[in-house]
Amino acid sequence: MTPTFRMPLVSIVPRMRACVLTCLVLALPALAEQPEEYAPAPAYSIDGYSEAVFPCKEVRGWKVGRNEILPEDEATPEYLHRRGIEPFLEDVATYVECNAKPHLETLSLRELSILRNTIFARYGWGGFRKPWLREYFQRQPWYKPDPKFSYKRLSENDRRNVELIAQAELSLRYIDLEQMRDTLLSKAGKWWGDIPSYEEIKGRSVHACDVDGYDGLTALDDGTPLLWVEEFQKAVTASKDCTYHGAARDELKKHRDNKPVAPNLGKLAPEDRIELGLISRAMGDFAVDSDQHEQAAGSLDKVLSVKELRQLSLRDLRLLRNTIFARRGRSFKSQLLQEHFSHMPWYKPDPAYSDKLLTKTDKRNIELIRQVEQEFGGALTDKDFQVANPSTAEDPEYVPPQLTA
C-alpha cells in the first residue's frame, strides 16, 4: 500500500495567496489595457442637441426668399412665372423646411456647423482642425474627446439630423449668402455708395432712401405715384445702402456724398468674422474660418497655403477643390455638387470643358488640396459628405490638429 503524504494546511494557504497575488500582478497590464466603454453626456446637458429627429423635412422645389419653398409637385411653370421665378425647371433643388425649432433654414453657417459637429462631439470626436470649432467644444463642460471615436456610436436619429443639417448648409443660394454677408459688412461700417437721388424743385440733386423731404408733387389725385417716384422707389429697393442703412436716417445724412466706404472688420465680434470666412468660401472664394480679420479672405487665383488648408475639414476641402473645377465650367456627376454650384451665378457649365482650361495655379492648388485630404484620411464621397450611413462608413483615424506648415 502506497503511503499518502498530506501537506499541512498551514503551508497550503500561504502558497495559494502567493499564487493569487502573482496572477493579479501579471494580469494588471492586461486589465489596464481594457478601455472603458464610452458614455456620452446626457442629451439634456447639451445645448442644441436632440435625441429625436429634428422637426424638418427635405423638399424638392424652388426657393422664394430665405424661408419660403415652393414644392416641385405643387408649382407649375406658369405659377412660377407669375411669381417671377426664372428660369424654371433647371433651378429645382433640395431644401430643408422645419416647422419648429431648430429652424435650420434660418441659422447662420457658423450655427449650422456647431449644431452638426455637436452630434459627433457628444460621442467623443476630437479631431477638429478648425481652431474656433476646437476651442468652442473645449469650453463645453460636457465634452469628452475620445481617440477611439467611432461613427457606430451615432444613433439612426443622429445620422438623420446630420443629413438635415448638411443639406441645409449646402442648399443656401448665392442670394441668401450675399444677404448674410452684406448684413455683417454693414455692421462693420461698409457703405456701397449706391443711394439713389431725386431732383428737388430748385434743381438740386438729393441722395436719399425716401421722398419724405420732397416739397413737390409725388402722386396724382387718386394716389397713383408719379413715374419718377416709381423709378426712384425701384432704385431704393435695389440699393444696398438703403437696405442695410435706410433705418438710420442720421447716418444717411452723413453719407449724402454717396461715396463708398470700406468696412472695418475689427468692429465685428470674433463670431461674426468667423461667419464671414464661412460665407466667403460658400460663395466660391477662398477664406479661412478665422476671427483674425486680416486673414478672413484670400483668392483662388493665388497658390494656397498648406498651413491654412490644414485648418479646413474634409468637407470644406472637397468643396474647395471642386470650386476650382467649377470656376472653369466643369459639370459634376455628383448631384450634391451639381446642385450646390448651380446656386452660384458665376457657375457656367461648359459642355466642351476639359482640364486644359485649368491654369497653372489651379493645378497647383488642386494638388495641394488633394495632399491635405490624403493626409487626413482621403477625400470624402457623397455618402461620407453627409454621413448618411456612418454605421458602415470607415471610422476616421484620429489625427491631432496640425497648425504648422
What are the pLDDT tens digits along the chain (405 aa)?
545 445 554 454 455 444 444 444 444 444 344 446 889 999 999 999 999 999 999 988 877 766 678 787 777 767 767 766 654 445 678 889 999 999 998 999 999 999 999 999 999 998 888 889 999 999 999 999 999 998 889 999 999 999 899 889 888 888 889 999 999 999 999 999 999 999 888 788 889 999 887 888 888 888 888 898 999 999 999 999 999 998 888 888 899 899 999 999 889 999 999 999 899 888 888 777 765 544 445 578 889 888 888 888 888 888 899 999 999 999 998 888 888 888 788 999 999 999 999 999 999 999 999 999 888 878 777 665 554 334 445 555 555 544 433
Taking the C-alpha atoms of residue 330 and residue 349, their distance in angstroms, rounded to an integer, is 6
How deeply is 142 buried, as exposed, middle or buried, from its count of CB atoms within 10 A (0-12, 13-18, 19+)? middle
Residue 134 lies in a domain: no
| Residue 349 CB neighbours (<10 A) | 13
Cell numbers 458614455 label which residue? 39
Residue whose cell numbers read 416739397: 215
In whole angstroms, give the CA distance from residue 16 to residue 264: 79
* Grid cell of 323 as nine digits: 470650386
Return the residue matching grid coordinates 497575488: 21
The answer to the question of residue 234 being in a domain is yes
- pLDDT score, position 308: 84
Cα distance between residue 337 and residue 183, in whole Å: 27
Domain count, the chain: 2
How far is residue 35's CA from residue 227's CA, in Å, rounded to a whole number?
A: 77
pLDDT confidence of residue 385: 54
Residue 111 lies in a domain: no
Query: Has residue 72 been placed in a domain?
Result: yes
Question: What pLDDT, on a 0 to 100 scale, did the predictor assign at position 15?
Answer: 53
Domain that holds residue 203: 197-254
Is the N-terminal amide bond of 87 cis, ω within 30° of 0? yes
Residue at 212 is within a domain: yes
- Within a domain: 178: no
At residue 202, the pLDDT reads 79
Record the cell numbers describing residue 76, joined without a space: 407649375
With respect to residue 65, please indicate whether it lies within any of the assigned structural domains: yes
Question: Which residue has 425716401 as its cell numbers?
Answer: 210
**Which residue among 223, 238, 254 closes a domain?**
254
From 187, 222, 254, give the residue that closes a domain.
254
Q: What is the pTM of this model?
A: 0.76
Pairing mode, strands 197-199 and 68-71: unpaired
Give pLDDT, residue 218.
86
Specify if 142 maps to a domain. no
Extended beta strands in 205-268, E state: 205-207
